Amino acid sequence: QVRLTESGGDLVQPGGSLKLSCKVSENIFNFNTLRWYRQVPGNERDFVASINVGGIIRYAESIQGRFTMSRDSAKNTVYLQMSSLKHEDTAVYYCFTDILSREYWGQGTRVTVSS
């Protein structure tokens, strides 16, 4: 059973920064892609960023230039460095992966951007 454990969510002021972590229970190179999504209550989960096994990173347009995804293979962890945070970045952030047609989500970590 693959486990994804997010952490790092917090209350932050507009313009501030925050770094989220997603600890994976297995070698992260077992997975073709690891992704970050976010969800506002009442809305669907939206794609934020992804990194594939080759290290190629993709971002949603809404966060391009403000968020940076990275990984540390020694720690089996992926990160989401968030900067210039806006009110609209407030959401629960989830880590996601899939393997052998099974999907795995973390429990989420809450980010609140407010003054």
The confidence score (pLDDT) of residue 48 equals 98
Average pLDDT over residues 87-95: 98
The confidence score (pLDDT) of residue 17 equals 98
Q: Which string of DSSP letters, residue by residue, matches 66-97?
A: TEEEEEETTTTEEEEEE-S--GGG-EEEEEEE
The confidence score (pLDDT) of residue 97 equals 97
Per residue in 27-86, pLDDT (tens digit) is 999 999 999 999 998 999 999 999 999 999 999 999 999 999 999 999 999 999 999 999
The residue among 40, 33, 44, 43 whose CA lies nearest residue 95 is 33
Burial pattern 26-42, b for ≥16 Cβ within 10 A else e, equals eebeebeebbbbbeeee
The confidence score (pLDDT) of residue 72 equals 97
Tokens of 28: 């992260």
The confidence score (pLDDT) of residue 39 equals 98
The confidence score (pLDDT) of residue 15 equals 98
Distance of CA 58 to the CA centre of its chain: 12
Q: Position 9: which residue type?
A: G
